[in-house]
Amino acid sequence: MTPTSQPTVFITGAAAGIGRATALRFARAGYLVGAYDIDEDGLDTLRAEIEGRGGRVRTGLLDVTDRGEWQERLAEFAADHGRLDILVNNAGVLSAGRFEDISADAHHRMIDINVGGTVNGMLAAFTYLKETPGAQVVNLCSASAIYGQPELATYSATKFAVRGLTEALDLEWRVHGIRVMDMWPLFVGTGMVHGVSIGTTRALGVRLNAEDVAEAIFETTRGRRRVLPKVHYPVGRQAKIMAAAAQFSPQWLARLINRLLSGN
């Protein structure tokens, strides 16, 4: 198919929370939106909202841990629109609490979705990204990738993995003209943190909403290429302070601050 003149964005975990807000933000800016999730009802209401506002969207079921589904959904999207300007790897899950109190299944679910889903998406999308001039990848990381977080141990570890993957592929894929970056919000008021009460949520609160992160994603992808490339984008005042402090703090001080904040 001849590529459309409109830019396109493919978003995972788009039925709710940050993914939904991101889909709405890009649709409002005139993008052709691919919105994918395992929540069919949520996708139906998202499609109705975007189309009701005059936007264009394609929705589909996607389990990000399934490599075959990734290939199918991307092939369908590319067949319709002929290009992939932005991939947003947003789908993720969180289980909070003492490490030994979280079930093995929950630990591995975080690894499979947060890390495996991101790896699957970037592998499946590579061909389409390299064929689209100026293509970009946005991975949803977290401020928990700054220093390992008590009561979020495995979740934090998955975000360290996303951070490392982002850094490596931003270098590897430069030759193909693909920009790779990640977003570092702290706690965001979505269903993911509903009912989560741990030391750091009590100390720091939940000060971001899904629209804050969606706007940050949108603005980051609209920015011009920098002379000094930037890969990590903290979202919100707290995350920006934490990220800046981590650049200059010795490890013992970072450990102490995280211990005090988490109450451990």
Instruction: Say which residue, 230 or 259, is predicted with more confidence.
Output: 230
Q: Is 189 exposed, middle or buried (0-12, 13-18, 19+ CB in 10 A)?
A: middle
- In the prediction, which pLDDT does 227 show? 66
Distance, in Å, from the CA atom of 110 to the CA atom of 95, rounded to the nearest integer, reads 8
- In the prediction, which pLDDT does 192 show? 87
Instruction: Identify the band that residue 2 occupies on the pLDDT scale cut at 50, 70 and 90.
Output: low
Instruction: Identify the band that residue 226 occupies on the pLDDT scale cut at 50, 70 and 90.
Output: low
Cα 13 to chain centroid distance, Å, stands at 9
Q: CATH number of 8-262: 1.10.10.10, 3.40.50.970, 3.40.50.720, 3.40.50.10800?
A: 3.40.50.720
Evaluate if residue 228 carries a pLDDT over 90: no
Residue pair 238/206 in contact by the 8 Å Cβ criterion = no
| pTM for the whole structure | 0.93
Query: What mean pLDDT is predicted for residues 26-44?
Result: 98
Query: What mean pLDDT is predicted for residues 249-253?
Result: 79
Instruction: Identify the band that residue 92 occupies on the pLDDT scale cut at 50, 70 and 90.
Output: very high
The radius of gyration computed from the CA coordinates of the chain, to the nearest angstrom, equals 18
Catalytic residues, by residue number, are 155
Distance, in Å, from the CA atom of 88 to the CA atom of 93, rounded to the nearest integer, reads 15
Distance, in Å, from the CA atom of 192 to the CA atom of 201, rounded to the nearest integer, reads 13
User: Using one digit for the tens of pLDDT, what is the confidence trace for 129-185?
Assistant: 999 999 999 999 999 999 899 999 999 999 999 999 999 999 999 999 999 999 999
Instruction: Identify the band that residue 1 occupies on the pLDDT scale cut at 50, 70 and 90.
Output: very low
Query: What mean pLDDT is predicted for residues 37-50?
Result: 98
Point out the least confidently predicted range of 56-60, 62-66, 254-258: 254-258
Residue pair 212/235 in contact by the 8 Å Cβ criterion = yes
- In the prediction, which pLDDT does 252 show? 75
Nearest Cα neighbor of 110 from 73, 142, 68 is 142
Evaluate if residue 3 carries a pLDDT over 80: no
- In the prediction, which pLDDT does 225 show? 64
- In the prediction, which pLDDT does 245 show? 87
Nearest Cα neighbor of 223 from 181, 188, 173 is 181
